[in-house]
Structures are given as structure tokens and as C-alpha cells.
Amino acid sequence: MKTERFIYNLNYPANEKESCELEVRSLFQFDLKGKVFFETRKVHPSVSPFLKNRLEIIFQASTFSEIIESIIIAKIAAPDFMVKYVELEKDDRRFKKRREYCKAIGLIIEGFPCYTAPKNTFGITFYKGNWYFGKLAERSPYWKAHNKKPNAYSSSLDLNTAKVLINIAGNGDISKRLIDPCCGVGTVLLEGVWAGYDITGWEINSKVAESARENLRHFNYDVTVITGDIQDIEDSFDASIVDLPYGNFSFKNDENQLKIIRNARRISNKIVLVSSEDIREELVKENLKIIDHCKIGKKTKGAFMRYIWVCDVDQ
């Protein structure tokens, strides 16, 4: 039987479960029930810190022999290919025989296998009573090189959170224009351009702005970083991503944070905020409609909690 669906599988640390669930709601518009799900929307795993694989289903069958027969009848062909078994369940007893399954499929695909740098990767898996065969897309490890950017601060967002913020802001629609109006050294900008978005950065501190530019040049990314105050931005964007500064003042007593919020509201239709405290009441007072939110738990002792707020702007 031929289908046109995708199987995704996830992996996330316990302290990032809520941010993973929020990302899934943003990209796929449903509430996550487990680490494996079927979807019609096509999203590449490399844009997410949590998506491991995406299997584009070509054939589904109740037995492995039916999968083999379907591949033979369809005369599946590909140059420089590899076949991998995708383990979706912990207790998948078939995983021990994965080499046999992959070899059986490899022998009937027309073309030459390649085990070092395949141009085409096929996946085979068994999940909840059915076999699935299709084209496999895996998360690229390259984005982790962003951790080695030339300039960083201890208070900078981690890459996982930056990637999640991009997916929440853009909902996977790379036609949307994004802005980080307080971009710091550009951690969010790196993940935005990696995902394919038109994203702009603003930074009031000239030295920090140049550090962001240097980070982007290091990876040959073409992103505009403007030195200036958020209140001077005249353009408009689909979404703003703002990591609010934190320090000795609470949000309600920090006029700088309020200024940032009010200007982000002025220049964008949607705001994705990161805060170090619960600012729900203050956001409502600023006429922002909170459409989703989550907490990112502490990863290590001494770390502080972060909150992510997704707000629609009521113009």
C-alpha cells in the first residue's frame, strides 16, 4: 500500500520537554503525545534540536516480505544509496536483525550502494504492527558548530533554545520576516539563517553588534546586523524574537525592559519573548495576547529558569 505521510521521531532531555512540546505545536499545530508521530507537513529535522529523523513513507505493509515485493514491483532505483534501520521503539526486537533487513533491501534497489557519503538514504522500520519503507532525512550535526562561534557570553541563549525560538516565531514558514531587535552576539540570528529565514539583527551596543557580525562571517552567513536602539526601527516584521535582559531589577520595575516590549509590539505582529521570571500579568497589561508559553527547566545546578512567551500583538 502506498502512502504520502511522514514519520518523525524526537529526542529531548527532561528539562527541555516543555520547549519541545511548544516547538511541535508551532511547527505541526497539535499537542505532542509521544516521541513518534505521523504528519503530512514536511519539516527537515535539521531545523530542530529535537527532531532526529523524518521518514517519507513510500510503502507500508504488515510484513517485511510485502515491503520487499513492493520495492521489486516499483523498481526503486537510486545512485549512491544507503539503507538504514530506524529504531522508533526501545523494545524493538527487530533492531537486532537490522543489518539483515537493510541488506535484503539493498540487494533489490537498482543502483550502487555507498556507505561513506550516500546521495540517497532509505529507511526501513517497524512500528505498532506495520513495516514502513521510505526516504530518510536525518538531522545534520553541522549546526552544532555554532557552539564554536568566535564570540559568546555566559548569559547567551543556548543553541537548542535559539532554534526553538526560530521555529516558534516562524512556524516553519520561511517566507516570514523575522527580527531579533536585541540580538547580542547573534545566537538567534545564526539559527534563523540556518533554517532559511530572512532575519535581521539590531544591537544597541556597537562592540557587541560587531561581535555578532564576526560570528556570522565566521560561518559565511549573510545577515544584516544594525547598530542602533530598538526605538529607532521603522520597518515592520512578521515576528520579533526578544531575549529580555535580566539583572537586579524585576520586570515591572525595569523601564528598559518595558521599552523593549513596547517597541517590539510596535514593529511586529507577533512577539516571542524569553524572560527569567514569570511576567504574565505584565504582558497582559501591555495589551499582549499570550497564545502559548512554556518553562525551560534548569540543566545544571546554579542555572536559572527561563520562560518562553508567545504573544499576538493586538493592534
pLDDT of residue 300: 60
Domains of the chain with CATH codes? 6-138 (3.30.2130.30), 144-313 (3.40.50.150)
User: Cα–Cα distances in Å, from 149 out to 139, 156, 187?
Assistant: 20, 12, 9
pLDDT at 154 (0 to 100): 77
Reading the block at residue 288, the C-alpha cell is 499582549
What is the model's pLDDT at position 301? 59
162 contacts 302 by C-beta, under 8 angstroms: no
pTM higher than 0.85: yes
Main-chain dihedrals φ then ψ at residue 165, nearest 5 degrees: -60, -40
**Beta partners for 268?**
237
- Contact indicator for 170, 196 with CB cutoff of 8 Å: no
pLDDT given at position 302: 52
* pLDDT given for residue 249 in this prediction: 43
DSSP helix/strand/coil, 267: helix
Q: What pLDDT sits at residue 141?
A: 87
What is the bridge-based pairing of β-strands 306-313 and 198-203? unpaired
| Per-residue pLDDT, 266 | 96
Which regions in the chain score pLDDT beneath 70?
1-4, 246-253, 298-304, 314-315
Residues contacting residue 296 through CB under 8 Å, at least 6 positions apart: 15, 16, 18, 19, 161, 305, 306, 307, 308
3-state secondary structure of 294: strand
pLDDT of residue 3: 55
